[in-house]
Amino acid sequence: MKRLILYPLAFLVAFGFYFLSKDNIADIETSELRKVAMKNGVAYDWRTDKPLHGRLIERNSNGKVIAKVTYSNGRLDGLTEYFYDNGTRKAAILYQNGLEHGNWKYFDRDGVLIKNIYYQDGQLIEQ
């Protein structure tokens, strides 16, 4: 009986801690950043000399989002997306601690999936 109570309670505590401890990813407009300094494979914000941490948003001359690139402690980490000028997603790719990881999806201008590639820890697994 104790296990029926203890295991779900432990799960809820761990689940809550995970979500409460996740860093909030801030959006950083590339027009504000202007440039990124790379040192030993880590991207730094040239203004503060700290590793990039957040989602870089790049826009075209018309102000439309053409890329969203996520960094964690200076390394590509999480979802990176590229967009056509019509706003349709061009690619959705994943990184984990600077390495290719997960499904990389490529789309045509109408949003139809045209290519799917799978990486695990930087290694191409399936194309």
* Beta strands 54-59; 27-29: pairing state: parallel
Over residues 23-71, the pLDDT tens digits come to: 566 888 877 776 788 898 899 988 888 999 999 999 999 999 999 999 9
pTM for this entry: 0.74
Q: What is the DSSP string of 97-118?
A: TTEE-EEEEEE-TTS-EEEEEE
Rounded (10°) CA dihedral 55, 60, 66, 71:
-20
Residue 115 has pLDDT above 90, yes or no: yes
> What is the domain partition of the chain in residue ranges?
24-126
pLDDT at 28: 84
In 3D space, the residue among 103, 73, 76 whose CA is nearest the CA of residue 91 turns out to be 103
Over residues 35-46, the pLDDT tens digits come to: 788 898 899 988
pLDDT at 100: 96
Cβ–Cβ < 8 Å for 79, 69: no
Chain position carrying tokens 């202007």: 34
Over residues 71-107, the pLDDT tens digits come to: 999 999 999 999 999 999 999 999 999 999 999 999 9
CATH number of this structure's domain 24-126: 2.20.110
Alpha-carbon span 25 to 77, nearest angstrom = 11
pLDDT at 48: 87
